[in-house]
Amino acid sequence: MFILSFNFPLLILVTFRFKQALNAEESLLSVKEESEKQPKEQWVNLGGEADMKVLYSSPYPESVKSAPLFFVCPFCLKPFSERCSFLVHQDHCPRITPPGREIYRDATASHSFFEVDGAEERTYCRNLCLFAMQFLAWKTRHSEIATFLFYVLTRNDDDGCRIVGYFSKEKNPSRNYNLSCLLTVPSEQRNGYGQLLIDMSYQLSRMERKVGGPERPLSDRGLLTYRKYWRSSILCYLRSAKDCHSISLKSMSLATRIHPTDIVHQLLHDNLLVMKDENYFFRTWKRAYKLPLSMLRRRVVDPSRINWTPKFDVTMLDPFKLNCYV
C-alpha cells in the first residue's frame, strides 16, 4: 500500500462536494433531457455513409428542422435539407479543413487538431455548436461563441480533414476549467477519439503550467469517458511509482495535470482509498499490476507534435506548484 498524504478535512470537503455534484448532475440532466428531447424522429448525415439519429432539438432553420433526414458538410458544417443541394455544395465547397490554425498533426494516425477562435470564425463555430446541440444535453450556447476557443479533431484523407470531434475552452477560464464542451461525432465513437480530445486538453494545461478539469455538470457519456481517462492516468502513475513509499496528492496532480479534486473523486468512486492508523492508503499497488493492460490503455497525443504556445507568459509560473485557472 502507498501512503497518500492529504489532510482529513480536505477529504471530507471533497467527498461532500463529490456527492453534491453527482446529485446536481442527475437532477439537472433529467430536467434538460425531458425539456429538450427531440420531439420527432430525425436523422443527420455528416457527409459519410452513416446516418445519425438526432437526440435533442437544435435551432437550425425551419427547412432543416422539418426534414426527416438532412445533411451537414463535413468541412464547413453548413446544413442542407436536401441531398441534391448538399451534393452540389460538396463539389464546390472551398474548404477542405477546419478554419483556424493546425496545432497538431500525426501523419501515422492520420489525424490533426485545429484551434479555431470563436470571435474570428463565427459562422463555422456557430455551425459547430448547432451540430453539437443535437447530441449534447449541455453545450456552448451559440450566442456566446466569441468567448471560446474550439479545438477540432479531424481524420485526414485524400479529400481533406473531416471532423470527428471537438472540445471547447473559455478564453478566460473560470473555476479551473480546461474544457467546456466535449463531443465525439456519434458515427465516430468507439475509436478512442474522446480519450484523445481529453488528453489534448490536459496537454495544453501542462504547457500552460496549470492544473484544471472539465466544466460541470458532465453528461452521462462525458462522465464515463473522463472516468476511463482518469482511472488509466492514475493507475499508470502508480505503476511508475511502485518503488515509492509514499505519494502526495500534489505530486500525482503535477504528473498527470488532473485536478486534485478529480483525482480524489476517482479514487473514491473506485473505492481505492482506505484509512489505517489515521493515514490514508491507496489499495492499488498490487491491483495496478494485476489489472489487464486494456484498463490502462488510452489514446494520447504526442507532445512533441504539438505546435502551440500559451496566450500568456508562463515563465512567472512555478511548474512545481498547482497553478490554477483562477
Residues recognised as catalytic: 215
Distance CA 310, CA 141 (A): 25
Alpha helices, H only, 155-219:
193-207
Distance CA 76, CA 122 (A): 12
CB 126 within 8 A of CB 145: yes
How far is residue 238 from each of residues 38, 209, 272, measured CA to CA in Å?
44, 22, 12
CB 243 within 8 A of CB 47: no
Indicate the SS3 state at residue 69.
Answer: strand
The one-letter code for the residue type at 218 is L
The beta strands (E) that lie in 180-292 are given as 181-184, 213-214, 246-248, 273-276, 279-282
The one-letter code for the residue type at 281 is F
Indicate the SS3 state at residue 221.
Answer: helix
Distance CA 85, CA 62 (A): 16
Bridge partners (DSSP) listed for residue 277: none
Q: Which three cell numbers stand for residue 272?
A: 481505492
Residue position matching grid coordinates 507532445: 303
